Each structure stands twice: as C-alpha cells, then as structure tokens.
Amino acid sequence: MIKIISFKICPFVQRVTAALAAKNIAYEIEYISLSDKPQWFLDISPNGQVPVMVTENGTSLFESDAIIEYIEDEYGPLEQHVTNEQRALDRAWSYLGSKHYLAQCGAMSSKDKATLEARFEKLYKAFQKAENQLTGSTQFFKSDALSNVDLAWLPLLHRADIIKQNSGYDMLCGLPKMQAWQQAIMTSSLVEKTVSSDFVEKFSGFYLTNTYLAEGKDIVQTSCSGSANCCG
C-alpha cells in the first residue's frame, strides 16, 4: 500500500491526501517530528521535507507537485476529457494556490496585527485573482465537480475557515465568491478525509496559541487586506 510521510498540519501533505481521498486511493500515513527528523526519513527525502510518498513499488517520491502529477499519471485523472490547454490552466491555478501555503502559515504565525496584515497582503492578492476568476454560478472552481484546482486550494480554504471560526478573522473578507467556494469545499465530505481526527487541535496549538490570532473573538478586523478597504 502507498505510504505518506507526514507532519500533521502541513498543507503540502494535505494537498496530496486530498488527491488520494478524492480518488478513493487507500494509503497508510506515518507522522514524523520536523524538529527531530529521523535518519530513515532523511535517507529517503532529498529535500528533507514532507510529504514523501512511498509508492507500491517502494520508490520514495518527494515534492508535492511531482507527487500530485504521479497520482494523476498512475491512478488516472480526476476529470475526463480535459484538453491540454485546460490542463495547463488548471495546473497554473493550482500553483497559484499551493505557492501561497507558506505565506498563509507565516501570516497565521504573526504575533501582532501589523505583522499579520503585512504578511497577509500577498496572499489576499492571490485570493482576489481567484475571486475574479470564479463565476459564482458553480459550486467548485470550474464546475459542480471537484477538479485539481479545488484540491490545491483546499488547504488554504480549510485553514482560513478554522481561523475564522476561532478568531473571527476572515481571510476571505470582501470576497463573496471565494467565501461560497470555501463553503462548498468545507461542506463536502472530502475535507475530513484529508487530515487526522485531531487536526484542529494540533493546528490550534500552533497557530491559535501565542499568536495575534489567538486573541480570539476579541480581534476586530478593520480591513480586508491590510489596506484601507473597510469590511464593516
């Protein structure tokens, strides 16, 4: 069986588990400590990072983009009859999401409001681009069926939802089509299959403890993006 080497709150891992769950592919998962990486992990992970996927043949794959492409090549596409141009566009929109995972982690780790808003600005610009691309007439990014783009943005939208529920800070403030997309993803049965049962607890221990967002419902969100757009 496939094995995923993981760190519980890693968004790159969650993109991979989302791709596996969306295709009902069974896998085992092993969690490691990133502050004390075991030697066996360093031996199979050239970049020293999770996710690593150990295939059925025992080959260790690394870099989430490569793992996602392998899942598509090996187990078949999520969507049939996608043109080459559309596939390229889907990959590009997926990258726009996944290339902002670390920006979101950095923003959520901020100790004060000014740092949060400064770090969040780039991510919010990506959210605005997606808002402009969404039609608002379909449940998911392209249609009413899940696509690879949804899977790539799922970690961002999931984390933004937990932050909103616990702190009141809405990363999608002023972006109604993004909010609707987030709602569709969060109410699909997929999200819970992508993380461990203690995900929210682990995530909160990291991003909602000793951070600005940990101030919880006392947070007053005065702007949508760190600039002057008042959210009301």
Ligand X SMILES: N[C@@H](CCC(=O)N[C@@H](CS)C(=O)NCC(=O)O)C(=O)O
Nearer to ligand X (CB atom), residue 11 or residue 174: 11
Nearer to ligand X (CB atom), residue 51 or residue 174: 51
Cis peptide before 11 (omega within 30 of 0): no
Residue type, 172: L
3-class DSSP state of 28: strand
Is there binding between residue 169 and ligand X (CB under 6 A)? no
Phi, psi of 208 (to 5 degrees): -120, 30
Among 50, 108, 116, 156, which residue interacts with ligand X (rule: CB under 6 A)? 50
The Cα-based distances of 55 to 5, 61, 154 in angstroms read 11, 7, 24
Query: Cβ of residue 23: shortest distance to ligand X, in angstroms?
Result: 19
Q: How far apart are CA 41 and CA 23, in angstroms?
A: 26
Is there binding between residue 94 and ligand X (CB under 6 A)? no
Query: Cβ of residue 154: shortest distance to ligand X, in angstroms?
Result: 15
Is there binding between residue 149 and ligand X (CB under 6 A)? no
The residue assigned the tokens 């969100």 is 221
Judged by CB under 6 A, the stretch of 5-13, 89-97, 135-143, 203-211 that binds ligand X is 5-13
Catalytic annotation present for 231 = no
Q: How far apart are CA 28 and CA 91, in angstroms?
A: 26
Using CB under 6 A as the binding rule, the residues of this chain from 172 to 231 that contact ligand X are: none
Is there binding between residue 17 and ligand X (CB under 6 A)? no
Residues engaged in binding ligand X (CB under 6 A): 7, 10, 12, 34, 48-51, 63-65
